[in-house]
Structure 1
Amino acid sequence: MTSATGSTGASGAAATGEGITAAATSWLPLIVVVLTQIQASFAVNALTVSMAGITTDLDTPATSVGTAITAGTFAMAAFILLGAKVGSRFGTRGVFQIAVAIHGAAMLAVALSVSPAMLFIAQASSGAVIALIAPALTVFIATNYHGAQQARAIGFLAAAIPAAGVLALLLAGWFANTIGWRWSFVLMVALAVVNLLLSFRLKRVPAQPGLTIDWTGAILAAIGIILLSFGFSGLATWGLWLATPQAPFDVVGLSPAPLLIIAGLIVGQAFFAWLRRRGREGRPRIFDLRVLATGSERAVTACMATMLFVGTAANFLIPLYIQVVQGRSSIETSFSIIPYTLSIFLASTLVAYLYGRFTPRLLATAGFIVVASALILLAFTVRGEWSQGFVVAGLILLGLGQGAIVALVFNTLLSAAPKQLAGDVGAWRGLVHNLSGSIGIAVASAFAVGMLSTLLLTSAQEHPEISDELIAQVNFSEANFLTNEQLADVLRSRASGPELDAAILINAEARLEALKISLLGLAAVSLLAIVPATRMPGRRDGDLPEKLEPDDDDVIDPIDEKEALA
């Protein structure tokens, strides 16, 4: 394997082993890749935007829609490593075509849903087949593009996700308010047909009929991911340590959330131990550890996970602030975050033009500094009546840094891996993307709510207007972000007059302070990510030596040394 020190701009030589940059290739494969990524991402965003219409039509609470979204995300994350091997075993293009067709059918089932159960099954099915689609997209880029063209193609793939978000905000929101939410998913059925037809013009990627699928590894990965996903998702509602009434069960009073996380980490360790054992025996593995063989590659993964954690957490906190603190509607919130989403799109597409001038190490470090600066700017400018200009500037800066880092780390990881491992790289990207995103939202929610509870209790005890009886009646451990009107409705039977006014004032100050502290916490995490960023590849395009050897800081795992240097 080539050393991870191969720069992002040198992927023509590093990834293909040809030693020369391949001639420019038709952009048709990239069109298919981008449209398919939009098809997969739009569906999830459209469910969120269409929540009001779905709950009315299906006579179901909003939590059912949230459960459907979670089912799709978990299914995709759990089976994506297996999806990469299935594509290699039976042929990437053929598996991709079957998956696109099934995803289109799942979108049709969503559009025709008559019950929450049908919606749940359709969305879970779509998530499972995205596990087949995501690795294929990376394989199509790796086999069709090289050098600077590959870097730009990866930028467009990364940009397709925020582009789908903007389209969902505009189209799905418009459909939901005019012709009905179901037409958003009919549109995805039509897009699936287009992608399926265009895919027949893609060149075939040879199948590996002799490939043996590591089913034990696949099962271990799926169990570990599901345990971690459910554990982190339950932190806010089930309790950080002690079980809340919302917890499905408890163990001697302990919340199941941390127990599931611990179990997931144990299964994860067993998964990697299993992979190393299979590697020593020379047997096929569900995931090739050569993707993470050197210190640089592991640093790239750390940067990717951190940025996705911070980005999704911020994407959760910002709408929370706009809707709860400012009291704006969902559609106003959607339009407020469009500048942030568009800046991610622009940075993802344009960062490739910097690869020839700056090293991945420098670009990643600068990107995390920009992200941290944006979060600090947001933390110190948000208030009840805030300056729109400062917040928009903060959102744009955040999007630029986030988009640049996500595209950069993916391109760096793909450039360092042999072309035959493109499916593993794509699967690893999808796994890190979904797991880090889920953890980011869960941890941000738990941290913000925990901070809110502490601030509310402290402030209530310091205000003489608040009686000890009211403090005793309110369960601060179950506090949540409420608008002034919602809090007044909750406390009206317990407090009135000056006491109610004081409680509303305390709540307004505490929720704003909790959000500020949460944003500053994310800024601190971004600054900590500079450490792995400085271990990313430090060479520019053309700096690769004829004989590739690891840098001093690229310490190869002894277990994978033979594979990493092969």
Structure 2
Amino acid sequence: MSSYAPSLGGSSGVKTSTGMQWLPLLVLCLAQLSTSGDNATLSIATGALVSDLHASMALVSIANAMYSLAAGSLMVAAGMVGLIVGWKKTFRIGCSLLFLAELTAFFSPNMEVFTYGARLLSGIGGSFMIPSVLGLIASNYKGSQQAVAFGAIGAASGVSFVAGPIVCGLLVDHLGWRYAFAAIACLCVVIFAGSFLVPTPAKPERKVTFDLPGVVLTVIGLFSVILGFLKVSSWGLFTPFDAPFTIFGCSPAPFLVLFGLVVLAIMLKWERYREAKVGSALIPLSFLSTPQVRNGLCLTAFIFLAYGSGIFVTVSFVQVVVGLNSIQTGLMILPFALGVVIFSLGLPVVYKNANPKRMCQGALVIGTIGSVLCIFGFQPASFTAIVPLGMCFIGISMGVVSAYSSYIVTSALPARDAQQSGGVQATSRNVGQAIGVAVCGMVMLTAVTMSVQSATRNDSQLSPDSQAKVSQMAVIPYLSDANFSKLMLKNGISQHDVPALTNDYQHARLNATRAGMVATAVMTLLFLFGTRNLPTRTKTNQSDEVEDKRKNKAL
């Protein structure tokens, strides 16, 4: 059996087999896996980097943030570049940059080259690849096929969540961290070769010109917003923790976010003027004026907010408190990944006539239930089977939203704007993840600090001197028992008081972990307010009904 290639959209008579029709999608899914694998490898290789490259934790933290900062800041601009030079070329540029990033990582002689060379290149490469993946799907697949394709990309993300730590962990343990990055470089070669299977989309009917002022404003604004959110947990929300400077005695993090939002507001004003003048913009007016698009972008942000918050809290607990290694952690969150994969890919295939609005609303409720379940599964130094179950519910929630969010956005836009939406969707994900990690990190730090200080004041076993010193600490970080003991001794606490303080800290840390999951549940519930204008039927459903009515009339 044969069918028309999805990229042709009925405009060409060239036929292709069903298997060949979906091979390009496999290439795009591998591209999604490559960027996720790069980030997973860095997380797992942290200890090796500290040992081999004598990296400080400050540089490791910068290396972790570099991808999000570079990719998140440039993705909107890459969406316009894709329209100008073509999505296929942009995809290959991103793949080439990611390949160079992995080679740079492999040959890095020190942490500075690794951070400002490999990680920066990786972020720039991701900023070109991910919007191109979404742009190629929007242009090459239509109707129900597009929903399946977007679901497959969501499934690829789910696979990377669990396969990344396990596969990369094995490579790091048995061959070394350099060869883990080399493996991703080899994957990039496969993806680049596979790009020749991806159909070349038609160019937009209206010419798109590059918007330099808009790009500059967008990069500055997004960089400031994302960096501000990323630094909330280390600099503090209002009370400064470990900030390089203060503003009016407060942490600079919220001011950085506010500055970024002001710049983005100026950028949107400029984009409206530019679109009216030349007919193209980084952020087309259709993105802002269409409620369905706004709500779809909101749901797109939720996908990685749920990942950023739920995974951040759970992984922090099982690795810091329980002491699981990367491979064990990957196995523990396997139910979460399965929920993402099965529902993001399976729903569009099995349940073609689903109501997107009801499905997304139900998914958010399921995600909230999953977060609440996790709260009851955490113990002072362990966790029960309720935690993997709760993570499975959160994964199901992410999977359902992944199956529909991108389609909700693209189906409400003109063809050219639908292709360009990839950059905005990808940026929404980065911002959502930054917000999720920032909120949960801040909640957990505040909770553990306040809880320890409150318990210390009421603990008669502690000396007045130890009580005073603990109460004067601006922040008490989320640490293992051993590292907490070292921190207390470093701050002048007597050895005699450390065991009692550690006992207080264990209960405080448990409360902080549960508070982080409460924050995840609350943020998930808040997204229900962004589902009001979602469609109740897909375009495919509507066209099928029209076709059925036509046939009934003919009979």
Q: TM-score, normalised by structure 2?
A: 0.89
Asked whether the 8 Å contact 1:456–1:476 carries over to 2, the reply is: no
Matching of residue 321 in structure 1 with residue 320 in structure 2 = no
Among 59, 71, 79, the alignment partner of 1:64 is: 59
Give the total of aligned pairs: 529
Question: Match for residue 399 of structure 1?
Answer: 395
Measure the CA separation in 2 of the matches of 1:395 and 1:413: 27
1:25-69 C-alpha deviation (Å, 9 max, x unpaired): 711210211111112221111111122222222121244233123
Quote the Cα distance in structure 1 between the aligned partners of 2:125 and 2:270.
Answer: 26
One of 268, 275, 278 as aligned partner of 2:264: 268
Residue 99 of structure 1 corresponds to which residue in structure 2? 94
Cα separation, 2, equivalents of 1:324 and 1:99: 35
Structure 1 segment 77-92 matched on structure 2, within 5 A: 77-92=72-87
Matches within 5 A, 1:171-210: 171-207=167-203, 210=207
Query: By how many angstroms is 1:387 displaced?
Result: 5.6
Offset of residue 480 of structure 1: 1.0
Aligned to 1:440: 436
Stretch of structure 1 that moved more, 322-331 or 413-422: 322-331
Once the two structures are overlaid, the 10-residue window that deviates more, 462-471 or 390-399, is 462-471
Instruction: Indicate whether 1:240 and 2:234 are aligned.
Output: no
**2:209 aligns to what SS in structure 1?**
coil
Q: How much has 1:326 moved relative to structure 2?
A: 2.3
1:56–1:491 Cα change, 3 Å = closer
CA distance in 1, matches of 2:77, 2:383: 48
Q: Distance in 2 between matches of 1:169 and 1:459?
A: 37
- Asked if 1:512 is matched to 2:510, the reply is yes
C-alpha deviation, 1:325, in angstroms = 3.0
Residues 55, 488 of structure 1: CA spacing in aligned structure 2 closer, same or farther, 3 A cutoff?
closer
Partner of residue 360, structure 1: 356
Counterpart of 1:543, as a letter, is Q
Which residue, out of 514, 517, 534, partners 1:536? 534
Change (3 A) 1:358 1:262: same
Residues 374 and 397 in structure 1, CA contact (< 8 A), matched pair in contact too: yes
C-alpha distance in structure 1 between counterparts of 2:189 and 2:338, whole Å: 27
Distance 1:457 1:69, change over 3 A: closer
1:322 and 1:451 map into 2 onto residues whose CA distance is: 18
Matching residue within 393, 414, 420 for 1:424: 420
Q: Distance in 2 between matches of 1:412 and 1:17?
A: 22
CA distance in 2, matches of 1:242, 1:388: 35
Percent identity over the alignment is: 24
* Per-residue CA distance 1:460-500 (angstroms, 9 max, x = gap): 22222233321221234211112222233333552344x43
Q: Shift of residue 243 of structure 1?
A: 2.9
Residue in 1 that maps onto 2:165: 169
Secondary structure, aligned partner of 1:477: coil
Structure-2 change in CA distance of 1:473 and 1:385 (3 Å): closer
Alignment partners' CA distance in 1, 2:261 and 2:544:
39
What is the identity, as a one-letter code, of the residue corresponding to 2:64? I
* Partner amino acid, structure 2, of 1:509: H
**CA–CA distance in structure 2, aligned partners of residues 206 and 425 of structure 1:** 16
SS at match of 2:541: coil
SS in 2 for 1:27: helix
Whether the aligned pair in 1 keeps the contact of 2:9 and 2:141 (CA below 8 Å) is no
User: Is the CA contact 1:291–1:424 (under 8 Å) kept in the aligned structure 2?
Assistant: no
Question: Which residue in the other structure is 2:549 paired with?
Answer: none
Deviation at 1:416, TM superposition (A): 2.0
Pick one of 184, 193, 213 that aligns with 2:210. 213
How many Å separate the matches in 2 of 1:312 and 1:279? 34
2:220 alignment partner in structure 1: 223
Task: Judge which range, 46-55 or 414-423, deviates more.
Answer: 414-423
| SS of equivalent residue, structure 1 residue 259 | helix
Residue type at the aligned position of 2:493: R
Cα contact 2:318–2:382 (8 A) shared by 1: no
Does the CA-based 8 Å contact 1:215-1:286 persist in structure 2?
Answer: no
Q: C-alpha displacement at 1:196, in angstroms?
A: 1.4
Which residue of the partner structure matches residue 526 of structure 1?
A: 524
Deviation at 1:521, TM superposition (A): 2.3
**What is the CA deviation profile of residues 401-421 of structure 1, one whole-angstrom value per residue up to 9, with x for unaligned ones?**
112112321122122222222
User: C-alpha displacement at 1:355, in angstroms?
Assistant: 4.9
Q: Which residue of 2 aligns with 1:469?
A: 465
C-alpha distance in structure 2 between counterparts of 1:314 and 1:524, whole Å: 12
Instruction: Determine if contact 1:81/1:427 at 8 Å carries over to the other structure.
Output: yes
1:372 and 1:526 in contact (8 A); partners too: yes
Q: Residues 409 and 277 of structure 1: is their aligned pair in 2 closer, same or farther, counting only changes over 3 Å?
A: same
Unaligned runs of 5+ in 1: 1-11, 548-566
Residue 386 of structure 1 and its aligned partner are, at CA, apart by 5.2
1:142 counterpart residue number? 138
Matches of 1:503 and 1:159 in 2, distance apart? 44
Residues 359 and 546 (structure 1), Cα distance of their counterparts in 2 relative to 1, 3 Å cut: closer
Larger deviation: 365-374 or 385-394?
385-394
Q: Offset at 1:100? A: 1.4
Q: Is the 8 A contact 2:108 2:114 kept in 1?
A: yes
The question of whether the paired residues in 1 share the 8 Å contact of 2:97 and 2:124 is answered with: no
User: Measured at CA, do residues 444 and 385 of structure 1 come closer, stay the same or move farther in structure 2, by a change above 3 Å?
Assistant: closer
Opposite residue 515 of structure 2, the aligned amino acid is I
Partner SS for 1:281: helix
**Greater relative CO (CA pairs within 8 A, separation 6+):** 1
Query: Counterpart of 2:60 in 1: which secondary structure?
Result: helix
What is the distance in 2 between the residues matched to 1:17 and 1:473? Answer: 73
1:90–1:490 distance in 2 versus 1, CA, 3 Å: closer
What is the distance in 2 between the residues matched to 1:98 and 1:330? 32
Q: 1:484 to 1:139 in 2, by over 3 A?
A: closer
What CA distance in whole angstroms lies between the structure 2 residues aligned with 1:302 and 1:203? 30
TM-score (norm 1): 0.88
Q: Which blocks of at least 5 consecutive residues in structure 2 are unaligned? A: 1-5, 547-555
- Partners of 2:156 and 2:389 in 1: how far apart? 23
* SS, match of residue 194 in structure 1: helix
Residue 500 (structure 1) aligns with: 498
CA offset at residue 442 of structure 1? Answer: 1.6
Q: C-alpha offsets along residues 479-534 of structure 1, whole Å, 9 cap, x if unaligned?
A: 1112222233333552344x433312211111101211221222122122222223
Equivalents in 1 of 2:106, 2:284: separation in Å? 38
Contact 1:47 1:65 in 2 (8 A): no
Distance 1:348 1:396 in 2: 13
Shift of 1:335: 2.7
Judging changes above 3 Å, is the alpha-carbon distance between structure 1 residues 325 and 193 closer, same or farther for their aligned structure 2 residues? Answer: closer
- Structure 1 distance, partners of 2:207, 2:269, is 24
When the two chains are superposed, the root-mean-square deviation of aligned CA atoms in Å is 2.5
Q: Residue 149 of structure 1: CA displacement?
A: 1.7
**1:63-122 deviations in whole A, cap 9, x for unaligned?**
423312311221111111111211211222223223312221221111111111221212
In structure 2, C-alpha distance between the alignment counterparts of 1:125 and 1:494, rounded to whole Å? 44
Q: How many Å apart are 1:382 and its aligned residue?
A: 1.3
